[in-house]
A and B are shown apart, each in its own frame.
Chain A
Amino acid sequence: MASKVLHAIYQDDDLLLQAVKQIREARYHIGEIYCPFPVHGLDKAMGLAPTRLAITAFLYGLVGLSVAVAMMNFIMIEDWPQDIGGKPSFSFLQNMPAFVPIMFELTVFFAAHLMVITFYMRSRLWPFKKAENPDVRTTDDLFLMEVDAANHNIDDLTRFLYDTGASEIRLIDNK
């Protein structure tokens, strides 16, 4: 037997936030929420874990810095230490100020791009991806909340959602 979910549609974000709090208090399980724009505080209300994207960006930045240092050290100091305009290419530290712009840029480059790619991978976003959109109106002006029916009484759950201010409630077979 396929599990069922209820799609409750809300008209505005204040109502939605209030409903999320009530539903969580009543111990129903919220699946997804679809919004046309970021609702401030929704993740906190839903109890989602904070993102670790910033931590990955820091680590990627360190990778970029290491790449820059290793590259400049190999090319300019170890492989072919030429005298270019009198710059001291005897050791990395002696010529370091000249490498700082590259070290900085590569740090930023790695941190930014790898973090964005991480974001795409974690959010499963890519070109030609089939949009997962239960109701086209959620991209314009409506807020849709998916609530697991699980083994709750459907009628009770529907009434409860209606009381939280949902303007439309639909029972859907979850594929």
Chain B
Amino acid sequence: MYTLSSKIKLAAIICMVVGAIGLVYGFIAAPDTVEDVEAMMASEHHGEEHATEETHEVNVEQIPGGNTEVDNIEHTEDNEAHATAADHAEAGHGEEASHDAEHMEHILHQLQNKPWAALYVAAFFFFMISLGVLAFYAIQYAAQAGWSPVLFRVMEAITAYVLPGGLIVFVILVLSGLHLNHLFVWMDPEVVAHDEIIQNKTAYLNVPFFLIRAAIYLGGWAFFRHLIVKNSRKMDDATDLSIFTKTFKLSAGFLVFFIVTESMMSWDWIMSLDPHWFSTLFGWFVFASMFVSGITTIAIISIYLKSRGYLEFVNNSHIHDLAKFMFGISIFWTYLWFSQFMLIWYSNIPEEVVYFIQRMNDYPLLFWGMIITNFLFPVLLLMNSDYKRVNWFVVMTGIVILCGHYINVYVLVMPATVGESWFIGVPEISAVLLFGGLFSFIVFNALTKAPLLVKGNPYLKESKHYHY
């Protein structure tokens, strides 16, 4: 049995508290009004934008009637309806001021989204890890793998985060549905009213159906996870193979359910952030990201537990196998990333390519840096068979892969929610700390719930003597 070390517990709680404080600060620091944004921008770019500020002030002074500027700001709430040609004709200079106010309004929405998006990215990232592990675990059962049963308890512990992590994501989605944030632009009725493309999608993209779907995915995953893990515990005292056969069928059923719901989940939770854009291999792309992060997490936690002397039956051939998966699925992720990018880049259809133009212009470092962390680094470091057996090599590569896939989720979510106002600052890091702490607390706590070696699995003996 594993006993939760007080150090991990303390570190997890500190992470959660610091993360929560940072997030609260992030929400408080987010601007409430356009004036806040103007003050922030003025203090940030005082030197550079001095000239433009002056002309701006002059324009305001020249506007006939003192209230014009305020009017314009109000108009931009539903600018397309009210900022009519008559308005522009009336006040020639007002047009410029209106444009400026529109811009400020735009920045305001982005900055208000920032802490929400940071929360959402981190919540989804850690949830995705545990979901990826659940898929991997089910594949091990369905494929009747002979090497992995000694790692089953580690995988089970990581999947313990599926339910709480999924609920947190669900709560964020509900809050979005209640219009507490502007993460999903199609949830804003005023935007939809002026957007024919979204109007044509409302049969799928409407809040009640969206939440029902999310509940079905999460409920299904949590339910399958509960059954499979319950069977695994029951198998410990089994005298025959009936429970194993049942779990085998259950895992196969889960995988069918998973691949459908995972694909739809990626449309709902991530692709619908950009409701004008669509891609057919998107579900696979998100899956590859969650799969490789999940496998990496299994490897890191297994190496940690082994170094503490808890997994004496895990040898370096098991680590070698996990590292091979990390290597292979990293390449698979890159293949999907490139397939999606290259097809859109090559055909260059305006309605599709804006997605990448935005990312390439506003997130160049993260967008291209992902190739190094998620492809070049694991490929070059894990290509050598001997290196895959060296624990610190696997851990180091694993940390880089996890950072890379956090950036992947970040670049999926942020351009649609905060646009060019992105920054990896206090709210982003705090959200990672908060969910990282919660994740490790739940996972390591779940490890204490059952012996670290399964019993009654027909492949257990093979797995204990596994050698590659």
Which residues of A does B touch, CB under 8 Å? 54, 58, 86, 97-98, 100
Contacts and interface: CB of A to CB of B under 8 A. Distances in A.
A54 B342 CA distance: 30
Interface string B317-350: 0000000000000000000001001100110100
Contacts of B29: none
B345 A97 contact: yes
Given A58-B383, A97-B341, A100-B338, A86 B348 contact: yes
Contacts of B383: 58
A98 B343 CA distance: 9
A20 B329 CA distance: 40
A155 to B, nearest CB: 40
Contacts of A86: 348
Contacts of A98: 342, 346
A58 B382 CA distance: 13
Interface residues on B, range: under 10
A86 B338 CA distance: 20
A100 B348 contact: no
- The secondary structure that dominates the B interface is helix
12 contacts: A54-B385, A58-B383, A86-B348, A97-B338, A97-B341, A97-B342, A97-B345, A97-B346, A98-B342, A98-B346, A100-B338, A100-B342
Max chain A C-beta neighbours (<10 A), residue from B341, B342, B383: B342
A158 B338 CA distance: 64
Nearest to B386: A50
Contacts of B348: 86
A105 to B, nearest CB: 13
- The secondary structure that dominates the A interface is helix
A37 B338 CA distance: 42
A54 B386 CA distance: 12
A153 to B, nearest CB: 39
Given A86-B348, A98-B342, A100-B338, 9 more contacts: A54-B385, A58-B383, A97-B338, A97-B341, A97-B342, A97-B345, A97-B346, A98-B346, A100-B342
Contacts of A100: 338, 342
Contacts of B341: 97
B386 to A, nearest CB: 10
Contacts of A54: 385
A127 B345 CA distance: 48
B346 to A, nearest CB: 6
Nearest to A101: B342
Nearest to B345: A97
Interface string B212-237: 00000000000000000000000000
A126 B72 CA distance: 84
Nearest to B380: A58
A58 B380 CA distance: 10
A97 B342 CA distance: 6
Nearest to B342: A97
7 closest pairs, A vs B, by CB?
A: A97-B342, A97-B345, A98-B346, A100-B338, A100-B342, A97-B346, A97-B341
Contacts of B342: 97-98, 100
B320 to A, nearest CB: 15
A99 to B, nearest CB: 10
A113 B341 CA distance: 30
Nearest to B348: A86
A8 to B, nearest CB: 29
B266 to A, nearest CB: 23
A100 B345 CA distance: 13
A95 to B, nearest CB: 10
A54 B346 CA distance: 35
A54 B385 CA distance: 10
Nearest to A58: B383
Contacts of B345: 97
Nearest to B343: A97
Interface in B326-385: 338, 341-342, 345-346, 348, 383, 385
A58 B385 CA distance: 13
A57 to B, nearest CB: 10
A44 B338 CA distance: 41
Interface in B380-397: 383, 385
B136 to A, nearest CB: 27
A97 B338 CA distance: 8
Interface in B4-20: none
A109 B29 CA distance: 56
Max chain B C-beta neighbours (<10 A), residue from A54, A58, A86, A97: A97
Contacts of A58: 383
A144 B345 CA distance: 61
A86 B349 CA distance: 12
A97 B345 CA distance: 8
B365 to A, nearest CB: 16
Nearest to B383: A58
B341 to A, nearest CB: 7
A98 B345 CA distance: 9
Contacts of B385: 54
A29 B405 CA distance: 54
